[in-house]
Amino acid sequence: MLPLEGITVVSLEQAVAAPFATRQLADLGARVIKVERPEVGDFARNYDKTVKGMASHFVWINRSKESLALDLKKKEAKEVLHKLLKDADVFLHNLAPGAVDRLGFSAQDLKETYPQLIICSISGYGTFGPYTNKKAYDLLIQCEAGLVSVTGTEDTPSKAGISIADIAAGMYAYTGILTAIISRYKTGKGAIIEVSMLEALAEWMGYPLYYSAYGDNEPPRTGASHSTIYPYGPFKAGDEKMVFMGIQNEREWVEFCSTVLSNPELASNSLFNSNSERVANKDALKQIIETVFQTMNSAQVIEKLEESRIANARLNTMNELVEHPQLAARNRWREVDSPVGKLKALIPPVTSDEVDTVMNPIPDVGEHTEAILSELGFSKEQINKLTS
C-alpha cells in the first residue's frame, strides 16, 4: 500500500508553488484532483511549448493528477466543489489574496463545515499585514527576501536560475500537509495551514541573515565563489574550462598545496595559513592556483583533486545533467505518459526500499471532468450543463 493511498487532495492551483506540493503528494499515492479553468486551465500550461508542445514547468509538476475543469463563478460549479470537499482530506489553493474567500470557500467557513478537512493556502506574503495584497512573483520574493542581494557578482545582483521562492513555499506546504495528516490520525481534527513565499524563502536565508544581523557587514556577492571560505569556487584550467572546488579545513589545505599545487611551503605562508587569511588575500591566491591549473586540462585537474580527496565538480549544462552517469547508474529516470506521448521524468529524490513512486500521466485540461462528475452522482444532463 502506498503511504498516501486513500488520501484525496482537491487543489485550486496554478503556476508552481501549489502544483509542486501536490505533485509530491501524488508521488506518494494521494489522489490529487486539480481544479482548472475550462479550456485554458492552469496558466503555466502556456509558459512555453518546448516539451513536444507542452510547457516545461507544467510537465515537471503535474503528473499523476486528475484535471477537473470548473467555472467556479457558476453556482453549479461551487456545488461540485462542495461535494468534493465533503469527502476530501486536503484542500489546497494558491489563488490571489482573497479570491477563495470571495468564491465562498474561506478557511474558517470550510473548517466549520468540514471539520476533518486540512486546508492549506499558499500566498506571497500571508493573509494579514501591510504586504498581504501586494502582487508576488518569484523574482519579486527573491528580492524582498534578500536573496538577490547576496547572489551574483560584485557588480551585478542576480536572481536564482530556478523558481526558488515557489519551490520553498511548495516544500513547506507539502511537509505541512504531511504533518497535519499525521496529527489528524491522533486528534481526528483537520487544520488550517498557511504558507507564504516570503516566510519560506526567509527561512532559507538563515546563514546570511545571522551573518548580517550579528556581524559588522553583509556578506558580499561573490559569483560562484563563497563569501567566507577560500579557495571555494571556480578556477580556470588550461583548456579554458572551469573546475569548481572547495577547501573546508586546514588538513585539506595542506594536502591541496602539497599534492595538487606541488608547493607544500605555500600551506604555511603567513598570507594563506588560515581561512581568514586566505579570504583576505584571495586575489593573490587565485593567481597562484590558476597558474598551476593552466598547465593541465580540466580532466587532469579533477583527477588530481580526486586523488587528494578535495571536493570538486564540473560545470554541467542541463543536457549534461540529463546524461549524468550517477543518475543513470542509480536508475533515476522513468517515463510518464502525457497528451503528447511518453516523456522522461526523474523519480523523486527520496528513495525507499518499501515504497515505489507513482508516475502516472500528465493530464490534459478537463480530462477527468466527466468521470469525476459521474462519480459524484451527476446525471448526463447535469454534466452536459456543467461542461457546456
Q: What is the pLDDT of residue 63?
A: 96
Asked if the peptide bond before residue 231 counts as cis, ω within 30 degrees of 0, the response is yes
Q: What is the pLDDT of residue 101?
A: 92
| 177-205 pLDDT per residue, tens | 999 999 999 999 999 999 999 999 999 99
Q: What is the pLDDT of residue 57?
A: 94
Nearest to 36 by CA among 2, 74, 69: 69
| 26-42 pLDDT per residue, tens | 999 999 999 999 999 99
| 77-106 pLDDT per residue, tens | 999 999 999 999 999 999 988 899 999 999
pLDDT of 223 strictly over 90 = no
Element holding 195 (H helix, E strand): strand 191-196
Residues of the chain with pLDDT > 70: what percent?
A: 100
Average pLDDT score, the chain: 93
Three-state DSSP class for residue 374: helix
Rg of the chain over Cα atoms, rounded to whole angstroms, equals: 26
How many Å apart are CA 343 and CA 346, to the nearest integer? Answer: 10
Q: What is the pLDDT of residue 285?
A: 96
Q: What confidence category does residue 52 fall into, taking pLDDT thresholds of 50, 70 and 90? A: very high
193: phi then psi, degrees, rounded to nearest 5: -115, 135
Tell me 152's DSSP state.
B
Q: What is the pLDDT of residue 235?
A: 94
Q: What is the pLDDT of residue 384?
A: 87
pLDDT of 355 strictly over 90 = no
Q: What confidence category does residue 228 fall into, taking pLDDT thresholds of 50, 70 and 90? A: confident
How many Å apart are CA 212 and CA 123, to the nearest integer? Answer: 27
pLDDT of 227 strictly over 80 = no
Global pTM value: 0.88
How many Å apart are CA 232 and CA 230, to the nearest integer? Answer: 5
* DSSP assignment string, 255-292: HIIIIISS-GGGGG-TTTSSHHHHHHTHHHHHHHHHHH
What average pLDDT does the segment 216-236 reach?
Answer: 86
| 294-320 pLDDT per residue, tens | 999 999 999 999 999 999 998 888 999
